[in-house]
Amino acid sequence: MTEMAILYDTSLCTNCKGCQVACKVWNNLPSPIGTNENKFSGSLQNPADLNGNTRLIQTFQERDAVRGQKPVDWIFNRRSCQHCTEAPCATVCPAGAITKDEDTGFVHVDDSKCVGCHYCEGVCPFDVPRYRTEGIRDYVNKCTGCPDRVAQGMDPACVSTCQPNALRFGPRDEMLELAQERLEILKGRGYEDAEIYGVNEMGGLHVISVLKYGREATGLPANPSAPATVGMTRVMKPITGVVTGLTVVGLAAMFALGVGYKRDKLVYNPETEDTVSLITGDVVKHGDAQDEKSIKEHILENHPFGIGKGGSDE
Ligand code: SF4
Ligand code: SF4
Ligand code: SF4
């Protein structure tokens, strides 16, 4: 199959949220009454952010108009998985629950394989993965690209519901051409900051966005990137297919050394039985009471290329 993409044109979007609802309906995701976290806050955005039941939200911002022809600019965006070519979530997933479709380029999820480790959460430059809890099980929930529909020749559910054609789905090169046409129209109308997002970011996204007001105003990262330690995980993952313990230490070290994680959470390393802070990388509870090494020392000691042995660990 061809490399595919969703095209989202913010200048055609009316923020009707039909796509948000269609995603819920097709993917059987609940919207429990009474759990709306967004008590009226002066914004039409609802819910406030992605959550375990919500893979897609349409965001809504209002600002004083910069062109002076109307009182306010309404800045819309689609907040969901961007389906990165270089998808760090898939790289770090130790259970094969997140995988990249090498044909279409979309990043799929098999939630039955998720072990709830939250590694993917810490490396996504777009802060996308969320988790659902059922009983004692915690598993990832993010946009899959609707592979069940696409395999049957249908568009993703969100795309198929969009009335003003703000969402399109097709071969990625065709979506890029359409994006370029729309960009030229917007520039011609005086939207100087308008731009296309997703051409090269993260190796190329499979959600291409036409941003009427540019990335900064829309709230997208200017230069999204994965934590540097994801590269180390790429090297270590095949090796640790043989040396299992190293895998676990390596993945834990990704959090210990990495940048880009956002929440104060703890991760448990079943090999050493240590509990590690995602924020500082410190071992907050040693499985072995005699073991006073930091997780960073563990990883450097076991590094496949001998880094850190007998020298500085910086
Ligand atoms: S369905 Fe289309 S117009 Fe409505 S919010 Fe989604 S992208 Fe925008
Ligand atoms: S946007 Fe985040 S969750 Fe989606 S493929 Fe990229 S890294 Fe993974
Ligand atoms: S592609 Fe499917 S899973 Fe992803 S946002 Fe659209 S409807 Fe939801």
- Do 243 and 222 lie in a common domain? no
How many domains does the chain fold into?
2
Please tell me the distance between residue 211's alpha carbon and the centre of ligand 2 in angstroms. 19
Q: Is 117 annotated as a binding residue?
A: yes
Please tell me the distance between residue 126's alpha carbon and the centre of ligand 2 in angstroms. 7
For residue 292, the Cα-to-chain-centroid distance in whole angstroms is 35
Final residue belonging to a domain, choices 192, 226, 260: 226
Atom of ligand 2 nearest to the CA of 98: 8
Q: Is 171 annotated as a binding residue?
A: no
Residue 307 lies in a domain: no
The residue nearest atom 6 of ligand 3, judged by CA position, is 158
Residue 10 lies in a domain: yes
- Do 171 and 235 lie in a common domain? no
Residue 289 lies in a domain: yes
- Do 214 and 259 lie in a common domain? no
pLDDT value of residue 106: 98
pLDDT value of residue 66: 81
Q: Is 93 annotated as a binding residue?
A: yes
The residue nearest atom 4 of ligand 2, judged by CA position, is 81
pLDDT value of residue 304: 42
Instruction: Please give all residues whose beta carbon lies within 6 A of any atom in ligand 2, as ranges.
Output: 81-84, 87-89, 107, 124, 126, 128-129, 142
- Do 222 and 238 lie in a common domain? no
Residue 287 token pair: 């499985």
Residue 256 lies in a domain: yes
The residue nearest atom 8 of ligand 1, judged by CA position, is 13
Please tell me the distance between residue 278's alpha carbon and the centre of ligand 3 in angstroms. 29
The residue nearest atom 2 of ligand 1, judged by CA position, is 162
Q: Is 158 annotated as a binding residue?
A: yes
Residue 78 lies in a domain: yes
Residue 35 lies in a domain: yes
Please spell the DSSP secondary structure of the chain, one letter per residue: ---EEEEEETTT-----HHHHHHHHHTT----TT-------S----SSS-BTTBS-EEEEEEEE-SSSSSSEEEEEEEES---BSS-HHHHH-TTS-EEE-TTT--EEE-GGG-----HHHHH-TT---EEEEETTEEEEE-----HHHHTTTPPPHHHHH-TTS-EEEEEHHHHHHHHHHHHHHHHHTT-TT-EEESSSGGG-BSEEEEETTHHHHHT--SS----THHHHHHHHHHHHTTSHHHHHHHHHHHHHH-S---S--EEEETTTTEEEETTT--EEE-SSTT----HHHHHHHT-TT-TTTTS---
- Do 190 and 235 lie in a common domain? no
pLDDT value of residue 303: 46
Q: What CATH number is given to the structural domain containing 109?
A: 3.30.70.20
Give the pLDDT means over successive 10-residue stretches in the chain (314 positions).
95 96 95 60 76 93 80 93 97 95 96 93 96 90 97 97 98 98 96 97 98 96 91 63 46 48 52 63 65 58 43 32
Contact of 250 with 225, CB cutoff 8 Å = no
Q: Which of 83, 100, 230 to mutate to test the pocket of ligand 2 (most atoms within 8 A of CB)?
A: 83
Final residue belonging to a domain, choices 226, 252, 283: 226
- Do 166 and 286 lie in a common domain? no
- Do 236 and 271 lie in a common domain? yes
Query: Cα–Cα distances in Å, from 55 out to 17, 130, 145, 186, 310?
Result: 13, 8, 10, 29, 47
Contact of 48 with 179, CB cutoff 8 Å = no
CA-based torsion, 243, 245, 248, 253: positive or negative: negative
**Cα–Cα–Cα angle for 230, 244, 112, nearest 5°?**
75
- Do 3 and 22 lie in a common domain? yes
| Ligand minimally distant from the alpha carbon of residue 167 | 1
Q: What is the pLDDT of residues 214-240, one digit of tens each?
A: 999 999 999 999 988 787 666 666 555
Final residue belonging to a domain, choices 196, 226, 256: 226
- Do 190 and 116 lie in a common domain? yes
Task: Give 220-273 as a 3 state SS string.
Answer: CCCCCCCCCHHHHHHHHHHHHCCCHHHHHHHHHHHHHHCCCCCCCCEEEECCCC
Q: Enumerate the β-bridge partners of residue 58.
A: 78
Residue 306 lies in a domain: no
300 Cβ contact list (under 8 Å, min separation 6): 307, 308, 309, 313
pLDDT value of residue 36: 55
**Cα–Cα–Cα angle for 215, 129, 47, nearest 5°?**
70
- Do 284 and 145 lie in a common domain? no
Atom of ligand 1 nearest to the CA of 161: 1
- Do 85 and 48 lie in a common domain? yes
Distance CA 152, CA 87 (A): 25
Please tell me the distance between residue 25's alpha carbon and the centre of ligand 1 in angstroms. 15
Q: Is 154 annotated as a binding residue?
A: no
- Do 112 and 254 lie in a common domain? no
Distance CA 73, CA 113 (A): 43
Residue 312 lies in a domain: no
The verdict on the CB of residue 146 being under 6 Å from ligand 3 is yes
The residue nearest atom 8 of ligand 3, judged by CA position, is 23
Domain of 117 in residue numbering reads as 1-226
